[in-house]
C-alpha cells in the first residue's frame, strides 16, 4: 500500500514500454500540460528511476514523490 496522498491531474501508463519510452511518454504529456498539473507516470522499467529523475533535475519540473510500493513505479511530476 502506498501512503502517497497526491491527486494527479493525469496518469500516463507506460508499463511494458522499453527505454526511453516511459520518459518520452511523460515528456509528451508535460508538453501539453498546464503549469501546476501533476502527472503520474507508471513504469515497470528500472532505467526510469535514473531517466526520470535526471530529466526532472535538468528542467524546472519537480518530482514530488516516487511510489515504489507496488510492482510498478509511480512518479508524481509537477509541471513547472
Partner 1 sequence: MVDRIAILGGGTGGTVLANDLADRLAAEIDAGDVEVTLINDGPDHVYKPVWLYVPFGQREPADGRRPLRELVDSRVDVVVDRVTGIDTDARELALRDGPGPLAYDHLVVATGSTLAPAEVPGLAEGGHDYYSESGAVALREELLSMTAGHLVLSVVGTPHMCPAAPLEFVFMADDWFRERGLREDVDITYTYPIGRVHGNANIAEWARPLMDERDIGVETFFNVEAVDPDAGTIASMEGTELDYDLLVGVPPHRGVDVVAEADLGDRGWVDVDKHTLEAERAEGVYAIGDAATTGVPNAGSVAHYQAGVVARRIASEVRGRPATATYDGKTLCFVETGMDAASFVEFDYENPPSPAPPSEKLHWSKLAYNEAYWLTARGLL
> Which residues contact partner 1 by CB under 8 A?
16-21, 23-24, 27, 31, 47, 50-51, 54-55, 58-59
- What is the set of active-site residues? 19
49, containing H or E segment: helix 47-58
| Shortest Cβ 46–partner 1 spacing (Å) | 10
Question: Are the C-beta atoms of 25 and 14 separated by less than 8 Å?
Answer: yes
**Checking DSSP bridges between strand 62-67 and strand 73-78, what pairing results, if any?**
antiparallel
Q: Which is nearer to partner 1, 55 or 73 (CB)?
A: 55
Q: Which is nearer to partner 1, 6 or 16 (CB)?
A: 16
Please tell me what DSSP assigns to residue 35: T
Amino acid at each position: 500500500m502506498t501512503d502517497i496522498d497526491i491527486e494527479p491531474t493525469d496518469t500516463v501508463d507506460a508499463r511494458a514500454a522499453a527505454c526511453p519510452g516511459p520518459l518520452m511518454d511523460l515528456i509528451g504529456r508535460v508538453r501539453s500540460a498546464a503549469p501546476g498539473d501533476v502527472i503520474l507516470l507508471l513504469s515497470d522499467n528500472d532505467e526510469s528511476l535514473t531517466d526520470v529523475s535526471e530529466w526532472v533535475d535538468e528542467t524546472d519540473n519537480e518530482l514530488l514523490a516516487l511510489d515504489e510500493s507496488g510492482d510498478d513505479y509511480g512518479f508524481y511530476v509537477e509541471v513547472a
